[in-house]
Amino acid sequence: MSSVRFLGATGTVTGSKYVFESRGKRIMIDCGLFQGLKELRQRNWAPLPLDIHSLDAIILTHAHIDHTGYLPRLVKQGYSGPVYANTATVDLLKIMLMDSAHLQEEDARFLNKIGATKHRPALPLYNKEDAEKAIALLEPVSYGFEFEVIPGVKAKLKDAGHILGSSFVNLYWQTDEGDKRKIVFSGDLGRANRPILKDPATIYNTDYLLVESTYGNRLHEENHPERKLEEIIGETIRKKGSVIIPSFAVGRTQELLYILRDLEEQKRIPQVPVFVDSPMAINATEITSRHIENQDLDARLLHIKGIDAFKTQNTRFTQTREESQKINDFREPCIIISASGMLTGGRILHHLKYRLPDPKHTVLFIGYQAEGTRGRAMLEGKKKIKIHGEHIPVKARVEQISGFSAHADYEEILAWLAGLTHPPKSVFIVHGEPEASRSLAEKINETFHWTVHIPQYDETYKLP
């Protein structure tokens, strides 16, 4: 008998971790950090409710930290097995895990400096040495290549169209009776017709399916989000203000740069300095440029023509802390793209401290803001947010464009599921806040009449 255990991304969009077990062997799919609410973040520090030494292998769907950021912690606790991921994901993780470790160390150092900690001293969840050990375990796999993960279980990664290297994971095995079985882990599912990336690959059949539900109760309103971006930038620049965009360093930043270059080329936005203030985003942009094989035809055509798809006429990449600090001395209108996308840490917080109190500036969110994050608080109209122990007044204009989301909405998820030629035995709804997961479960049931489950944290389902 095989089973799947849900150790994350249940009732939340973070902390993705699933454990597939067959004949006493265990594979963990994704190894993400919990983010957002304090009660969720505390799970990162609690012992994993699983014997780590019983894990035989790990497969990662993509590089985002809510799917990979717990890996150094797991290694710190003794995991030393293989970690499989798409080739581009491996390249991204070489910078992302080191950056995550750096942020863990920096946060602990800052809390100790200002004394804003209940723990003496505050310690990082993991350090750079742990991240380096995790990186050493990574094994790159190309899309469509079938490989044996553990004896009797094979795997294949397919393009999920979410970010560079994102995959949904197919696992294949045989029952004791010799029947063939398949389970699919969707990871984060992308969208059709987005810049740079290919559309999500079609899924034709599976016995069991885990599908994300981040936007399980919503539709992306803007069919042409570039128009709203053009409007917001134009209005802010006319007020002599700057547009501050908290952006995920991997995926969203590259798409945004691609679109800004196109809008500027069409003279739909003015030529102003565009600061990319995130070492990880800068490195991720270089990696994205290099992985031509994962790009769509339009992006590859630009490459063939010798056009840098990710640069406006005045794009400035700020690697060092000193370069970042100088941005706050820049008095002219500009666009600042900085991480983290949910305002959980990073350089973006310093830019917000400096510009939030001034109404001529605009803070523009272009990605999902999880419950409990500063980004969600600002979108809900909070007049002050806490940054580095200070309560900063929110007087700047706050805007959101959901059309840039890299997550499929519920109609796009249903369209992806419609490719299945036979009903799955079971569908598990994961990676969504409770209302979103319930809504998607209802829509799948209404549309396809399939058996749908919404797992709870640390729940195990048998796969008969």
Write out the chain's pLDDT in tens, 464 residues: 899 999 999 999 999 999 999 999 999 999 999 988 888 989 999 999 999 999 999 999 999 999 999 999 999 999 999 999 999 999 999 999 998 998 899 888 877 887 766 667 888 999 999 999 999 999 999 999 999 999 999 999 999 999 999 999 999 999 988 899 999 999 999 999 999 999 999 999 999 999 999 999 999 876 688 999 999 999 999 999 999 999 888 888 999 999 999 999 999 999 999 999 998 899 999 999 999 999 999 999 999 999 999 999 999 999 999 999 999 899 999 999 998 878 877 889 999 999 999 999 999 999 878 788 899 999 999 999 999 889 999 999 999 998 888 899 999 999 999 999 999 999 999 999 999 999 999 999 999 999 999 999 999 999 98
pLDDT in tens, 378-418: 999 999 999 988 999 999 999 999 888 889 999 999 999 99
d(CA 214, CA 407): 7
Residue after which a domain boundary falls, among 382, 403, 424: 403
Q: In CATH, what number is assigned to the domain containing residue 295?
A: 3.40.50.10890
Q: Does residue 233 share a domain with residue 213?
A: no
Q: Does residue 96 share a domain with residue 140?
A: yes
Q: Does residue 207 share a domain with residue 241?
A: no
Interior/surface letters 176-201, b for 16+ CB within 10 angstroms, e for the rest: eeeeebbbbbbbbbbbeebbbbbebb
The helix or strand, by DSSP H or E, that contains position 311, with its residue range, turns out to be none
Q: Does residue 35 share a domain with residue 145?
A: yes
Count CB atoms within 10 A of the CB of residue 71.
30
Q: Does residue 326 share a domain with residue 294?
A: yes
- List CB contacts of 231: < 8 A, sequence separation 6 or more: none
Q: Does residue 290 share a domain with residue 202?
A: no
Are 360 and 371 in contact by the 8 Å Cβ rule? The answer is: no
Number of domains the chain is built from: 2
Q: Does residue 233 share a domain with residue 163?
A: no
pLDDT computed for residue 114 by the predictor: 78
d(CA 234, CA 237): 5
Q: Which two tokens stand for residue 1?
A: 């008998």
What DSSP character marks residue 54? Answer: G
DSSP result, 326-381: HHTT--S--EEEES-TTSSSSTHHHHHHHHTT-TT-EEEE-S---TTSHHHHHHTT
Range of the domain at 31: 2-218+406-463
Q: Does residue 418 share a domain with residue 372?
A: no
DSSP result, 94-159: HHHHHHHHHHHHHHHHHHHHHT--SSSS---SS-HHHHHHHHHTEEEE-TT--EEEETTEEEEEEE
Amino acid in position 174: Q
Q: Does residue 233 share a domain with residue 316?
A: yes
Q: Does residue 425 share a domain with residue 397?
A: no
- Would the CA dihedral through 210, 431, 40, 165 be positive or negative? positive
Q: Does residue 438 share a domain with residue 337?
A: no
Q: In CATH, what number is assigned to the domain containing residue 56?
A: 3.60.15.10
Residue after which a domain boundary falls, among 385, 403, 421: 403
Are 188 and 165 in contact by the 8 Å Cβ rule? The answer is: no
The whole-model pTM stands at 0.88
pLDDT computed for residue 117 by the predictor: 63
Q: Does residue 431 share a domain with residue 363?
A: no
Question: Tokens 């581009």 map to which residue?
Answer: 88
Closest to 139 measured CA to CA, from 185, 94, 79, 72: 94
Are β-strands 167-174 and 390-393 bridged in parallel, bridged antiparallel, or unpaired?
A: unpaired
